Amino acid sequence: MEKLGVVEVDPMLAPHQNHLRYRYREFLKRKMEIEKVEGSLENFAKGYDKFGFTRDGDCIVYQEWAPAAAAAQLIGDFNNWDGSNHKMERDEFGVWSIRLPDEDGVPAIPHGSKVKFRMQKGDGTWVDRIPAWIKYAVVDPNVFAAYYDGVYWDPPAEEKYEFKHARPPKPAAPLIYEAHVGMSSKEPVVASYRQFADEVLPRIKANNYNTIQLMAIMEHAYYGCFGYHVTNFFAASSRCGTPEDLKYLIDKAHSMGLRVLMDVVHSHASTNAVDGLAGYDLGQSSQESYFHTGARGYHTLWDSRLFNYGSWEVQRFLLSNLRWWMDEYKFDGFRFDGVTSMLYHHHGLNMCFTGNYHEYFSEATDVEAVMYLMLANELVHKLLPDATVIAEDVSGMPTLCRSVEEGGVGFDYRLAMAIPDKWIQYLKERKDEDWSMGDIVYTLTNRRYTEPCVGYAESHDQSMVGDKTFAFLLMDKEMYFSMTATQPANLIVDRGIALHKMIHFITMALGGEGYLNFMGNEFGHPEWIDFPRQGNNWSFDKCRRRWDLVDQDHLRYKFMNNFNRAMIALEEEFQFVSSRKQYISCQHEYDKLIVFERGDLVFVFNFHPTNTYSGLKVGCEIPGKYRICLDSDAAEFGGHSRVDHNVDHFTSPEGEPGRPETNYNNRPHSFMVMAPSRSCQVYYKVPE
């Protein structure tokens, strides 16, 4: 505690050591309390072995933490929804319980039958709620706005899915395919876990990604929330199938060498009291609720409830939730949604973070939430040392991606969220000739290099209703009429495809230590995402993926897909994204050129709309013979084949050895290349 490791790494944290020590002490204090009472953090996070429905010998045991309830009953199909003979008992901690012995060896509650927790409020009225720890919940799809029911899920041995494949090893750089199972069909329907496993996983594997990030897995009553207003935290969404179907998907991904991350939502919960956790709030104090009371317990922008992260039972619930998804479903890690909202009492609302460290470490910081995140990362990495845990944080809080033991919050990566905003600004507001090379490079490289980032040009956020995919921003209505490859491309489509390739590739090459792409954007998916809702007459038309477009050989979508496949494969061959070696040797505003080295590769990007540079000198560090390993202008990528791939490029020394100022662009060697307009090329050194 004399000097935290994070301060050794980043001396700018020195003025904030008191704050950092305080939050670390709070973490250690709670961890020691947990170890004293529960034995270990790992045991504490097995709350699902105590709460909800469990088996104890020849009995079903059901327990629920509901300290605000005056009385409680268990109801369901098994007792015709009459709880008079299934009253529950309360202990001193507000935990209600009941034991149901088997009858002649048959469980008292049949597998797959519906159940609910009935509790009496202080005014004597009764309300029915879905058990907080329920593992499965269903709704009648034929009834509009029907309520969900909890389902007792304990399949017989012959129906349980048994995992067959080990987890793949952790890659040097995560190349993440962000996907939503429900909208993954080309048909206007909700796709299933098994459909996704059999039809979409092969596409992801073919495009060389090594990690999948699954959205909307936790049950959410409102489909249009994209999975972010969770109602049942331990339940896999029943829209797409059963828990066993989800296990099949993950096991099949593992068999292909694909790791699977879950988009976990611990930043807030749905206000839906009938179907969700909010229903356990009966107006009691914060310490007897999952949520804070008053304004602190409500997110005004999201219309959602906010957790009391300092509460013992809330910590048990959320930490157990993480372990459940890892142990039961074999997820390889998480992407934590809404981390900025958790980190600060102001939730990031109406804040413009400038990078001043005082913005991150003050009374505005929610230390209880930070302490919970430290516990969560400690737990996940103890359970699975190779886990990948990513924070969705727009604030850029220092220490977020440093280890807990040195005083950090413990995430492995943060999302580089400023990058897509910059690209959207350029695509919407600037002419091509006004693009600033320096501004692009600054945005892509403006990060704390001691804390890894996942770069991305566009995720699901960038194509929600009210906005468009990048391909549609670039080509708009021309995508309806001018995408045939049997005729020459018009100027709009030619420009659009060229910039689509360059934007995504330079983001991958410079934007972080990992890369993310949302499902369909690899081939330039048109239009936008719009979930079924009253405003669109409950249409699924914009809530699907048009795989048929990329599968048709006569359409130009294949060119963007081919390039995406090649650029992702480049990392497996050369491991440049995971390399700490990065040097930008040229960012020329007039010529619209960006030249840089990442790993041992040399990248040349020419954003000029019309100028092609023949005999362009580019600097490099390592002397020798270079050849092209990727060219966006190649015919297979919809380009014009202006570069000869059979040319050997030999380096020449530049300046005086040991005097960088005499070098070419501060590089000791150079070679000559052709740089066609609106294209990018990558060169590798041929082994001696």
Please say if 288 is a catalytic residue: no
- Beta carbons within 10 angstroms of residue 149's beta carbon: 20
Q: What DSSP character marks residue 277?
A: G
* Averaged pLDDT, 410-427: 96
Alpha-carbon radius of gyration of the chain: 27
Residues in a beta bridge with 684: 627
Residue 461 has pLDDT above 90, yes or no: no
Dihedral Cα 246, 247, 252, 257, nearest 10 deg: 110
* Averaged pLDDT, 444-457: 96
- What's the pLDDT tens digit per position in 120-145? 999 999 999 999 999 999 999 888 88
| Angle, CA of 439, 338 and 226, to the nearest 5° | 100
* Averaged pLDDT, 313-330: 98
Q: What DSSP character marks residue 386?
A: T
* Averaged pLDDT, 240-254: 98
Phi, psi of 4 (to 5 degrees): -65, 150
339 neighbors 392 (Cβ within 8 angstroms): yes
Closest Cα to residue 200, out of 123, 127, 252? Answer: 252
Residues 149, 392, 412, 494: which is the catalytic one? 392
In single-letter form, the type of residue at position 150 comes to G
pLDDT for 142: 85
Work out whether strand 679-685 and strand 514-518 pair parallel, antiparallel, or are unpaired. Answer: unpaired
Query: Cα(401)–Cα(390) distance, rounded to whole angstroms?
Result: 9
Query: Cα(51)–Cα(568) distance, rounded to whole angstroms?
Result: 44
Query: Three-state DSSP class for 286?
Result: helix
- Angle, helices 367-383/17-38, rounded to nearest 10 degrees: 60
Query: Three-state DSSP class for 335?
Result: strand
Mean pLDDT of the chain: 96
Query: Cα(326)–Cα(214) distance, rounded to whole angstroms?
Result: 14
- What's the pLDDT tens digit per position in 513-567? 999 999 999 999 999 999 998 889 999 999 999 999 999 999 999 999 999 999 9
Length of the chain: 688
Residue 615 has pLDDT above 90, yes or no: yes
- Taking the alpha carbons of 216, 221, 226, 232 in that order, is the dihedral positive or negative? negative
Residue 1 has pLDDT above 90, yes or no: no
Question: Terminus-to-terminus CA distance in the chain, angstroms?
Answer: 51
Query: Cα(413)–Cα(400) distance, rounded to whole angstroms?
Result: 8
pLDDT for 465: 67
Exposed, middle or buried, 18 (CB in 10 Å: 0-12/13-18/19+)?
Answer: exposed
Closest Cα to residue 509, out of 169, 171, 175, 170? Answer: 175
- What's the pLDDT tens digit per position in 147-177? 999 999 999 999 999 999 999 999 999 999 9
Query: Cα(494)–Cα(9) distance, rounded to whole angstroms?
Result: 46
CA atoms within 13 A on the CB side of 601: 23
Query: Three-state DSSP class for 325?
Result: helix
- What's the pLDDT tens digit per position in 374-416? 999 999 999 999 999 999 999 999 999 999 999 999 999 999 9
DSSP string, 233-271: EEEEPGGG--HHHHHHHHHHHHHTT-EEEEEE--S-EE-
| Angle, CA of 324, 325 and 331, to the nearest 5° | 140
pTM as predicted: 0.97
373 neighbors 410 (Cβ within 8 angstroms): yes
* Averaged pLDDT, 489-494: 96
Please say if 392 is a catalytic residue: yes
Closest Cα to residue 527, out of 489, 564, 473? Answer: 473
Residues in a beta bridge with 79: none
Q: How confident is the model at residue 110 (pLDDT cuts 50, 70, 90)?
A: very high
Residue 677: alpha-carbon gap to chain centroid = 34
In single-letter form, the type of residue at position 306 comes to L
Residues 251, 313, 337, 451: which is the catalytic one? 337
139 neighbors 147 (Cβ within 8 angstroms): yes
Exposed, middle or buried, 434 (CB in 10 Å: 0-12/13-18/19+)?
Answer: exposed
Element spanning 516, H or E: strand 514-518
Spell out the residues 6+ positions from residue 203 whose beta carbon is closer than 8 angstroms to its own.
Answer: 547
For the chain, the 3-state helix, strand and coil shares in percent, each to the nearest 5, are: 35, 25, 45
Closest Cα to residue 669, out of 635, 626, 630? Answer: 626
Assigned token pair, 282: 């009966």
CA-to-CA separations, 685 to 594, 622, 657, in angstroms, rounded? 19, 8, 21
Query: Cα(550)–Cα(497) distance, rounded to whole angstroms?
Result: 14
| Angle, CA of 425, 427 and 430, to the nearest 5° | 75
Residue 294 has pLDDT above 70, yes or no: yes
Query: Cα(608)–Cα(625) distance, rounded to whole angstroms?
Result: 27
115 neighbors 76 (Cβ within 8 angstroms): yes
CA-to-CA separations, 192 to 134, 161, 530, in angstroms, rounded? 21, 16, 19
Query: Cα(619)–Cα(672) distance, rounded to whole angstroms?
Result: 9
* Averaged pLDDT, 70-99: 97
